[in-house]
Structures are given as C-alpha cells and as structure tokens.
Amino acid sequence: MRTPEGPRSRLPRSKAGLVVALLLALALGYQLVFGNQGPLGDLVDRLLTALQMQSQPDQATVTRVVDGDTIVVNIAGSEYRVRYIGVDTPESTTKQECYGREAARFNRSLVNGQTVRLERDVNDTDRFGRLLRYVYLPNGEMVNEVLVREGYALARSFPPDVKYQERLRAAEREARQARRGLWAACPNPGS
C-alpha cells in the first residue's frame, strides 16, 4: 500500500499559465522554422504533446486497468498512467494482498474501455510519474468513491490532494459498517 508523500512546490496558477503559454509559443515557433528536424525536434514534439494533454485534460479513454487504483488512459493519442486520488486498494501486481485481485477485477468492470472524465487536485503527478486524478464514469459517479463505498478500497489522504477527503471517508465508514468487500473478507483492513 502507498505511503503519504509531502507537498510539492508549485507555481501559482497565473504564473503557471504564463509559463505554459510561453513554452507553447516557443515550441510552435521552433516547429514552424525547423519542422521536426534540428537538434530539438524530438523535444519540441514531446513538449507539444504534453501541452496538448494539459489543454484537454478532462476526457480520456481507459485502455487498460493495471490494478485496483491505477489505470492507463488515452488522452489525445498518448497513453498515461493514472493513479486514483484519495484511495488505496490492496496490491495485486507486485504482491498479493487480501482482496487485491477482487479490487482489480471490480475496477476493470467499472472503467475498462470507458470514456471517463479526469479531475486534478493539487499535484499533477506522483513520484512514479503517474497522473493523479479523480476519475468519473459517464453517468457522473466518481470511481474513487465507488471503490471505497463498495469495499474495494480504503480512503487515504495524501496532502495536499485532499479535495474530496471527507466524502471518501464517509464512503469508507458506510462500507465498514455494512461489512462490504474487504471489510468482511480481510483481517484488519488498512493496518
């Protein structure tokens, strides 16, 4: 299971927007002059792809489910790993923990092949380079919350990404009281 990470430094939104606009202008200018050639061609291509993802970050198609709390999505033709914010499911890839396979299976049944909406909190990525997001199904349900409410995940806060912390904790209380999922199947969930 994941451990909390400390806050990351970040530019104020207005300065970040200015930096993004400047990078975009420079990249487009370079591409107009040199195309994909020149010493920075590959770097400019990658920068433009990243900036395109930033400009349309809310729609994605789930192409693969890694485990209970991580998916791979396609955004504007590029694939990204996404880690759900505020939840932690038992492991099912590197080691097998109680209810890990069930969490991965349930996650797959919810999102695989779906077009989902992604919502960022404070941090864009975690230390492994995965996008950190709240993920919403086409019907508007938050996947992070569904996993917790149905007993496949624990609510976990990793400041500063805590926008829906209370909502997820309430879902966990409901699952625990109803003894859903891992709350019935596993000894000492979350310890």
Positions annotated as catalytic residues are 83, 91, 130
Question: CA angle, corner 116, sides to 106 and 92, nearest 5?
Answer: 30
Burial of 157 per CB tally in 10 Å (0-12, 13-18, 19+):
middle
Length of the chain: 191
Q: Which residue has the tokens 């109803």?
A: 178
Question: CA angle, corner 188, sides to 158 and 105, nearest 5?
Answer: 70
How many CB atoms neighbour CB 46 within 10 A? 12
Q: Six-digit token pair at 180?
A: 């859903």
Cα 60 from Cα 73, distance rounded (Å): 6
How many CB atoms neighbour CB 184 within 10 A? 13
What is the sign of the dihedral through the CA atoms of 172, 176, 182 and 188?
Answer: positive
